[in-house]
Amino acid sequence: MSLLFVQLLSGLANAMFLFLIASGLSLIFGVTRIVNFAHGSFYMLAAYLTYSLAAALPGGPVAFYAAVLLAAVLVAALGGLVEVLLLRRVYKAPELYQLLLTFALVLVTADAVRYLWGADNKTGPNAPGLAGSVMIMGQLFPSYDLAVIAFGPLVALGLWLLFHRTRWGVLIRAATQDREMVAALGVDQSRLFTSVFVLGSFLAGLGGALQVPRLALTTVMDTSIIVEAFVVVVIGGMGSVWGALLSSLLIGVLNAYGVLLLPRIAIVLIFVVMAVVLVVRPWGLLGRPEIQLRPPGSGGVVGARARRLGPIWLGAGVIALAGLPLVLPNFWISIAVEIFAFALFAASLHLLMSVGGMVSFGHAAYFGLGAYGAAVLLQLAGLPMPAAFVLAPVVAAVAAAVFGYFCVRLSSIYFAMLTLAFAQIVYAVVHQWDDVTGGDNGMLSVWPARWLGTPSRYYYWALAATLLGLLLLRLVTASPFGLTLRAVRDHARRAEAVGVNIRALQWTAFVVAGFVAGLGGAIYAFLKGSVFPVYTESPMSVQPLVMVLLGGVGSPAGPLIGATVYKLLDTVITRYTDYWQIVLGAILLVLVLAFPRGVAGMLDGRRP
Amino acid sequence: MRASRLLSLPAAALLLTLGAGIATAQAPIKLGDINTYSGIGAPFTGPYRQGVEMAVEEINARGGVLGRKIEVLFRDDKAQPAEAVKHAQELVESDKVAMITGSFLSNVGLAVSDWAKQNKSMFLASESLTEALTWSKGHDYAVRLRPNTYEQGRMLADKAGKMKYVKWATIGPNYEYGKRAWETFRDRLKELKPDVQMVGEHWPTLGKIEPGPLVTAILNENPDALYVSLFGSDWLAFVREAQKRGLFQKMFVVGILLGEPEYIDPLKLEAPEGMLVTGYPWYDVKTAGHQEWVARYIKRGDKTPVLGSIIGYITYLSVAEAIKKAGSTETPKLVAAFKGLKVETPMGPIMFRAADGQSTMGAWVGTTKLDPQRGVGVMVNHEYVPGEKVLPTEDEAKKLRPAN
């Protein structure tokens, strides 16, 4: 009994941290519709600031608390600056471009923190006056955690007063529901957005600063919190602070009991909860259906306007690609194959995003399953390499059919997060199923057949597969099926009214995208010679997203350009510096600000 | 005419060799080190790199190897096996390195090793601890410096088996290292002390531990002793919660690697006392040349060493010895040279075993204690356990490897 109670308290303490971080994230998304990856970076930055300030400030025991507050305020100011100086410039860009910008900020902040504070793990001071423990039902419990449990509801109460007793709060609530209407009523949107960013960042900062007495500071704190924070927000319902509170409590407490009952499931527990919640309640526990990532009409552009390259240019391109191995050294031939794999990966996501209006955060599942499919068919089923290669995308497509069935019932950010949940479940399975997948040690010796065993031979094999994959995407996009898919994207209701079976259509697109991503995964598996669980993890899902956005959502060439630019930048920069993140981040920032419609969008715009 | 031709042949050959000798004396021997220099690996690989650079400076100051200087190209694998493979290919094919070293994470080590096997390049894994590297996935082109998970687990079990503790629980990261670290320890412990019972296992996600509930859960299993294979930030966060909840007063704790300065120093005076650990007590190691090495290291970088520092250093001592023994930088000769290669190191002599490429480097086993003067935890009553003592014999090891 005492165990269960103390476990409840532990869960509540963790829940309060989740709440601080998730409420800020939810607020920012609710009002500005920005998927703010940099939220975790603000959290990390505040923790490091607290660490340094607590040591530097005078005032003995008060110094720590002053440091916490000051760190949160500094981070809030930084959030405001980022909104004014950077994000404001890209609000007019297609939806989701802000995501690319915040991703660049994540990279820059991570390296800035490493540069300023060093890479070694740090433990900060304990909270003065709360360093000890109290006896609760025969068990010692940290007094700091008790204080946190008391503090969380105070923050929630403060937010409630803010939202229900101030004009600003009323505007925020109004903007969360319908920001166009708020703008139409003459409210200054930019000030509203800035203030929301400041408050959201403050909450993230507070969360990070208060972790200092509990956790170790690491330069990867940002990425380890951000996905979890999004999950909490989505379970609660995007934009709902109360939803964030409810889901933080749910996740915190479930995690605490989960370690008692199912020790190995911690890796995936919250994603399973999210998947279940989203399947039952498509907008989260307390969310509203209005919120959309991509409101009708703002949409993407792969339409009649997009220019098609003439057959002469296409032919010239293919001939140039076919000639590459004659002039490139082996290493660059392999880089070219890597670009092929990612071009397919990004192009398949592009089908979902631009043509279908469905943004996936979990596309790595199908890329990874293509790679694992190839490895398992080759090694456990004993198929010859070409057969394993050809069947691997089918494995991905089958998984896409199963997961897609549930995903297409949802829209916008909830769709995105359910795809993420399934990707994490795939990750957990390949990570834990040691007998088949080799767990985190991966599957080795997944090499091409002997007759394909030189870099240039494998290059031609991969080139052929890539061209076929792209051709498939092109045929699907240009077919009546693709046109109808676009109609659904632009106006689902009207499309439904003329008799389109929306779900069947989107489901089919999901399977096709999964198949092509799987083909990319198969190319990648035989290129690298090994397959690992990280191929299915969330950072892998972010990559094609960045590529599509970088290249340009609106153009069929966008993902190809994006994959090429991103991979080349990455390859070249890593060669010269360990601080590749800050360089890559800075370049992405410049690209986003200079070409807010992506590189291909810019090229298109130049033409008369 | 004929005679003069015959005479001139050796002369020409001599000239050619001299010429080649002069040309190559100017070109350094390039080597490539692939490691997780950013992200999760950065706290460990930073000092490792310092150690590598120190070794290279010293070797070059002595005139290099085979009359050539050595030069190391460092590449960051970003904790991604695929990224490491990309670097391996570039280093070998474009930069023409003689061999590859490094790898911190086990799966990165395995990926590079498999690439080396496929492409017939030499790979010295310095940090990766997975046994698979030299055993179940072992081959001629890969050798490994550090004592693997199996050895370290066994060192601890040999000590713990003599203790009175019967009920054991474990906590470790949910991946291969954590699971194998526990299994090897547990199996050996059962051998030595058949009456031990296992009362609980906890496997938090690597890098994402929520320690509070785990500590409570362990306390309620009421074990006599706890075996810990957490490390890095997970370990630090766990200690803070465990201290506040009185875990260390209630049970004996055994920690694999946790005496290494990498893991114990960041805890400062919060480090738990009385734990049985493997580690590296650099402040207290009196083998020949070790204190001088420490002094040189501190002088060079103004920082005290961690295990990674000396591992980086010994990695490159070994590389230099191998090239010297091979008399060449060609892969087949390096492969042969590493078989039974003996290296004099600040830790004492080590040997890369011919049968499995595992070096006989050992580790120190001791008990933790606080050192108020330096403000950190240290190891006391420690003993160096050489690799030979815990490794299977070379004949047994051969059977663990796939037939080539």
Measured distance CA(B127)–CA(A59) in Å, rounded = 44
**Cβ atoms within 10 Å, residue A327:** 8
User: Taking CB atoms and an 8 Å cut-off, how many pairs form between chains A and B?
Assistant: 195
Strand order across the beta sheet in which B142-144 lies: B70-76, B29-35, B100-102, B123-125, B142-144
Q: What is the pLDDT of residue A213?
A: 93
Q: What is the pLDDT of residue B277?
A: 97
Does any CB of chain B come closer than 8 Å to the CB of residue A216?
A: yes
3-state secondary structure (DSSP) of residue A237: coil
Residue to mutate among B38, B85, B133, B265, with most A CBs inside 10 A, is: B38
Does any CB of chain A come closer than 8 Å to the CB of residue B274?
A: no
Q: How far apart are the first and last CA of chain B?
A: 54
Measured distance CA(B298)–CA(B367) in Å, rounded = 25
Tell me which chain A residue has its CA closest to the CA of residue B89.
A331
Q: Which of A267, A571, A578 sits opposite B205 (nearest CB)?
A: A267
Cβ-in-10-Å burial (0-12, 13-18, 19+) of A147 comes to middle
Does any CB of chain A come closer than 8 Å to the CB of residue B95?
A: no
Residues 310..339 of A with a Cβ closer than 8 Å to B: which? 329-331, 334-335, 338
Superfamily of domain B150-282+363-390: Response regulator (3.40.50.2300)
Q: What is the pLDDT of residue B253?
A: 97
Residue to mutate among A447, A528, A532, with most B CBs inside 10 A, is: A528
What interface predicted TM-score (ipTM) does this complex get? 0.87
Residues of chain A found within 8 Å of residue B245, distances taken between Cβ atoms: 133, 139-142
**Contacts (Cβ under 8 Å, ≥6 apart) of B102:** B32, B33, B34, B35, B112, B125, B126, B127, B315
Where do we find the tokens 């089919």? Answer: A508
pLDDT tens for B120-142 read: 999 999 999 999 999 999 999 99
Q: What is the pLDDT of residue B371?
A: 96
Does any CB of chain A come closer than 8 Å to the CB of residue B216?
A: yes
Asked whether the CA dihedral A204, A207, A213, A219 is positive or negative, the reply is negative
Q: What is the pLDDT of residue A174?
A: 86
In this prediction, what percent of chain B has a pLDDT beyond 70? 93
Q: Does B208 sit within 8 Å of A263, measured CB to CB?
A: no
Which of B241, B280, B149, B376 lies closest to A126, judged by CA?
A: B241
Q: What is the mean pLDDT of chain B?
A: 91
Q: What is the pLDDT of residue B404?
A: 58
pLDDT tens for B283-331 read: 999 988 999 999 999 999 999 999 999 999 999 999 999 999 999 999 9
Q: What is the pLDDT of residue A447?
A: 93
3-state secondary structure (DSSP) of residue B166: coil
Q: Does B78 sit within 8 Å of A442, measured CB to CB?
A: no
Q: What is the pLDDT of residue A12?
A: 94
Cβ-in-10-Å burial (0-12, 13-18, 19+) of B363 comes to buried
Beta strand B167-171 pairing with B197-202: parallel
Residues of chain B found within 8 Å of residue A6, distances taken between Cβ atoms: 216
Q: Which of B87, B117, B244 sits opposite A140 (nearest CB)?
A: B244
Residues of chain B found within 8 Å of residue A579, distances taken between Cβ atoms: 38
Q: Which of A133, A215, A259 sits opposite B213 (nearest CB)?
A: A259
In this prediction, what percent of chain B has a pLDDT beyond 90? 83
Q: What is the pLDDT of residue A313?
A: 83
Residues of chain A found within 8 Å of residue B260, distances taken between Cβ atoms: none
Q: What is the pLDDT of residue A604?
A: 63
Residues 287..346 of B with a Cβ closer than 8 Å to A: which? none
A66 CA to centre of own chain: 34
Residues of chain A found within 8 Å of residue B79, distances taken between Cβ atoms: 534
Measured distance CA(A492)–CA(A478) in Å, rounded = 19
Q: Does B266 sit within 8 Å of A122, measured CB to CB?
A: yes
Measured distance CA(B310)–CA(B49) in Å, rounded = 10
Answer yes or no: is pLDDT of B14 > 60.
no
pLDDT tens for B56-100 read: 999 999 999 999 999 999 999 988 999 999 999 999 999 999 999
Does any CB of chain A come closer than 8 Å to the CB of residue B369?
A: no
3-state secondary structure (DSSP) of residue B225: strand
Distance from CA of B106 to the nearest CA of A (A): 7
Does any CB of chain B come closer than 8 Å to the CB of residue A439?
A: yes
**CATH of the structural domain B11-148+287-362, one choice from 1.10.540.10, 1.20.120.1200, 3.40.50.2300, 3.40.50.11540:** 3.40.50.2300
- Let me know: does B323 contact B363? Beta carbons within 8 Å: no
Q: What is the pLDDT of residue A304?
A: 40
Residues of chain B found within 8 Å of residue A338, distances taken between Cβ atoms: 86
Does any CB of chain A come closer than 8 Å to the CB of residue B116?
A: no
Q: What is the pLDDT of residue B336?
A: 97
Q: Does A578 sit within 8 Å of B38, measured CB to CB?
A: yes
Does any CB of chain A come closer than 8 Å to the CB of residue B115?
A: yes
Distance from CA of B7 to the nearest CA of A (A): 43
One fold for B11-148+287-362 and B150-282+363-390: yes
Q: What is the pLDDT of residue B176?
A: 83
Q: Which of B137, B205, B267 sits opposite A123 (nearest CB)?
A: B267
Give me the residue spans of the domains in chain B. 11-148+287-362, 150-282+363-390
Measured distance CA(A162)–CA(A24) in Å, rounded = 13
- Helix locations, A33-126, DSSP H: 39-56, 61-85, 97-117
Residue to mutate among B74, B92, B106, B107, with most A CBs inside 10 A, is: B107
What is the DSSP secondary structure assignment for residue B282, as one 8-state letter? G
Q: Which of B89, B106, B246 sits opposite A441 (nearest CB)?
A: B106
Does any CB of chain B come closer than 8 Å to the CB of residue A454?
A: no
Q: What is the mean pLDDT of each run of 10 residues along chain A (608 residues)?
A: 87 94 92 90 97 90 94 97 90 78 93 91 90 89 94 93 91 82 85 93 96 91 89 88 92 88 78 90 82 44 52 86 91 95 96 91 96 95 94 97 94 88 92 88 92 92 96 93 90 87 93 97 95 92 91 86 93 85 90 81 57
Q: What is the pLDDT of residue A134?
A: 92
Does any CB of chain A come closer than 8 Å to the CB of residue B81?
A: yes
